């Protein structure tokens, strides 16, 4: 979650309440378990690690002045590294979803580029699992496990199709990556 | 499929995503295929291939400017959502349909402007088709179905019979040679269809959703069969919406709106190193699948 919070601070400094709202919007019912305290715990840890620093809001439009958090240079580096790194073979749906949201909100990476990279990664894992599955009898224990693994990977790939549709519909006009 | 009016503004619209390829088109390295004397150049080539349906206000670009080289011996899967043009592309590649624009080359011969008879002859000798719904002749036995293409291509009845027996053996149906299609399961029918596709030792086998009607066990059998063909150096292009089927190919081309959206190699370079993420160097030596195991004591 640290990486997601850092990414949400990329575009502009923000306060804990705003971060929680944005996460809640991205997570829907999965965010119900997320309370305000957890965001502040994360922000405090990030501050101790020197990745964010606290600022006072200059002139709030209304209400009291709130603590506003901003990325440090180290925080920016960490976000960039997180964006560049692949999600890994075991990443779950929520993790990758938040990365796409964070990529779009931060403007650091095109979510569609992440979807493409993820598709290739999963497709290669699937190729490996499927070729292994063909070598085993479907009724063997290993064959059964491999079938489960290929079905999971297939489900992930199908969800990526939905990600591609949604994020391409949202892509800002005129900002395509048409290079060639 | 996309509907476009007028033409000029229709090209490269939408998300503005161009085709991305991370790989070259070099033929698969590995054991020598059974056609060592394959002529140089791709087994199958499409250049600016375009197929437009309808007219005037309601033009539909089913296939829109596809460039594709399939090296001899490669197995290629074409995927994409329904309506993306993948089946139309396969029909164009196999000479079952004619492009509105562009070229199709089969084994170094341009086929898109051949006359009907020449094209039919070429299809019979050089292309093996496998369809989702098998398309077997109901009144003919399994063996007769497999003999038919050889007979049509001018083989002697004796040679056709010998070839059919050999192929049915290869697909594991030697014992069902005299059965009618109606007496066979879906998976068995499709294996007969694969044997029939191979009857004239085609340059390419084109398969349109070959496992679309099959359950997982029968799909397994067909994929194993394709894997044997692949090992034997058969060039194979299959259209599928099933990622698990596509994953058995050497290369996967994804289509969107009639165009190639992605082109990924699943064989060759980087195979052994790509799943290093997540485990330390000390655990090396295993396959990438090992990275899926979360072992916690």
**How high is the pLDDT of residue B151?**
95
pLDDT of B84 above 70: yes
Mean pLDDT of A34-38: 81
Instruction: Encode pLDDT of A117-147 as tens digits.
Output: 999 999 999 999 999 999 888 788 999 999 9
- Whether the CB of A128 is below 8 Å from some CB of chain B: the reply is yes
Strands B109-110 vs B101-106: parallel, antiparallel or unpaired: antiparallel
Of all residues in chain B, the percent with pLDDT exceeding 90 is: 70
How would residue B57 be classed by pLDDT, with cut points 50, 70 and 90? Answer: confident
- CA distances to A180, B31, B36 from B167, in Å: 46, 22, 21
How would residue A153 be classed by pLDDT, with cut points 50, 70 and 90? Answer: very high
How many CB atoms neighbour CB A44 within 10 A? 14
- Whether the CB of A157 is below 8 Å from some CB of chain B: the reply is yes
**How high is the pLDDT of residue A60?**
62
pLDDT of A90 above 90: no
Instruction: Encode pLDDT of B101-131 as tens digits.
Output: 999 999 999 999 999 999 999 999 999 999 9
Question: Which residues, at least 6 apart from B137, have a Cβ–Cβ distance to it below 8 Å?
Answer: B144, B145, B148, B181
How would residue A180 be classed by pLDDT, with cut points 50, 70 and 90? Answer: very low
Positive or negative: CA dihedral A93, A95, A99, A102: positive
pLDDT of B148 above 50: yes
Contact A123 B248 (CB under 8 A): no
- Whether the CB of A137 is below 8 Å from some CB of chain B: the reply is no
Contact A89 B277 (CB under 8 A): yes
Contact between B235 and B74 under an 8 Å Cβ cutoff? The reply is: yes
pLDDT of B203 above 90: yes
Contact B15 A90 (CB under 8 A): no
**How high is the pLDDT of residue A141?**
93
Among B220, B247, B262, beta carbon nearest to A126? B247
Which residues of chain A are within 8 Å of residue B220 when distances are taken between CB atoms? 133-134, 138
What DSSP string runs through B84-115?
SSHHHHHHHHTTSS--SEEEEEETTEE-TT--
pLDDT of A179 above 70: no
In which residue are the tokens 């050999």 written? Answer: B166
3-class state of residue B134 by DSSP = coil
Say how many residues make up chain B: 297
Distance (Å) from the alpha carbon of B16 to chain A's nearest alpha carbon: 5
What DSSP string runs through A73-111?
HHHHHHHHHHHHS---TT--HHHHHHHHHHHHHHTSS-H
Contact B278 A90 (CB under 8 A): yes
Q: What is the distance of C-alpha A30 from the center of its chain?
A: 14
Among B18, B81, B223, beta carbon nearest to A180? B18
């Amino acid at each position: 979650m640290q990486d997601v919070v850092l990414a949400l601070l990329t575009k502009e400094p923000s306060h804990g309440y705003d971060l929680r709202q944005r996460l809640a919007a991205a997570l829907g019912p999965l965010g119900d378990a997320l309370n305000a305290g957890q965001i502040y715990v994360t922000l405090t840890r990030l501050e101790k690690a020197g990745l964010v620093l606290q600022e006072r809001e200059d002139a709030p439009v209304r209400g009291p002045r709130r603590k506003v958090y901003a990325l440090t240079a180290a925080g920016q580096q960490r976000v960039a590294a997180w964006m560049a790194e692949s999600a890994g073979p075991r990443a779950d749906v929520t993790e990758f979803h938040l990365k796409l949201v964070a990529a779009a909100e931060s403007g650091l990476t095109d979510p569609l580029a992440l979807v493409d990279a993820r598709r290739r990664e999963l497709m290669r894992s699937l190729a490996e699992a499927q070729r292994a599955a063909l070598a085993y009898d479907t009724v063997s224990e290993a064959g059964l496990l491999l079938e489960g693994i290929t079905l999971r990977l297939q489900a992930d790939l199908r969800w990526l199709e939905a990600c591609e549709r949604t994020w391409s519909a949202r892509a800002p006009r005129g900002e395509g990556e048409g290079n060639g | 499929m996309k509907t476009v009016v007028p033409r000029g503004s229709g090209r490269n619209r939408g998300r503005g995503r161009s085709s991305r390829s991370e790989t070259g088109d070099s033929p698969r390295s590995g054991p020598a295929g059974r056609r060592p004397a394959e002529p140089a150049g791709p087994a199958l080539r499409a250049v600016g291939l375009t197929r437009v349906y309808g007219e005037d206000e309601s033009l539909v670009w089913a296939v829109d400017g596809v460039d594709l080289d399939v090296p001899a011996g490669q197995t290629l899967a074409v995927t994409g959502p329904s309506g993306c043009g993948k089946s139309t592309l396969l029909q164009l590649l196999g000479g079952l349909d004619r492009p509105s624009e562009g070229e199709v080359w089969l084994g170094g011969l341009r086929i898109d402007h051949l006359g009907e008879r020449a094209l039919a002859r070429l299809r019979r000798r050089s292309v093996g088709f496998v369809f989702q719904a098998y398309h077997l002749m109901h009144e003919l036995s399994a063996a007769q179905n497999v003999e038919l293409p050889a007979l049509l291509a001018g083989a002697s009845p004796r040679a056709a019979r010998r070839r059919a027996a050999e192929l049915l053996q290869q697909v594991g149906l030697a014992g069902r040679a005299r059965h009618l299609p109606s007496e066979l399961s879906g998976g068995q029918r499709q294996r007969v269809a694969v044997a029939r596709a191979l009857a004239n030792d085609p340059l390419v086998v084109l398969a349109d959703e070959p496992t679309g009607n099959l359950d997982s066990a029968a799909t397994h059998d067909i994929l194993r069969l394709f894997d044997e063909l692949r090992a034997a150096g058969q060039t194979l292009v299959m259209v599928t919406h099933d990622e698990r089927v596509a994953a058995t190919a050497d290369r996967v081309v994804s289509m969107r709106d009639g165009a190639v959206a992605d082109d990924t190699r699943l064989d060759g370079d980087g195979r052994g190193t790509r799943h290093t993420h997540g485990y330390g160097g000390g655990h090396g030596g295993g396959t990438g699948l090992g990275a899926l195991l979360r072992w916690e004591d």
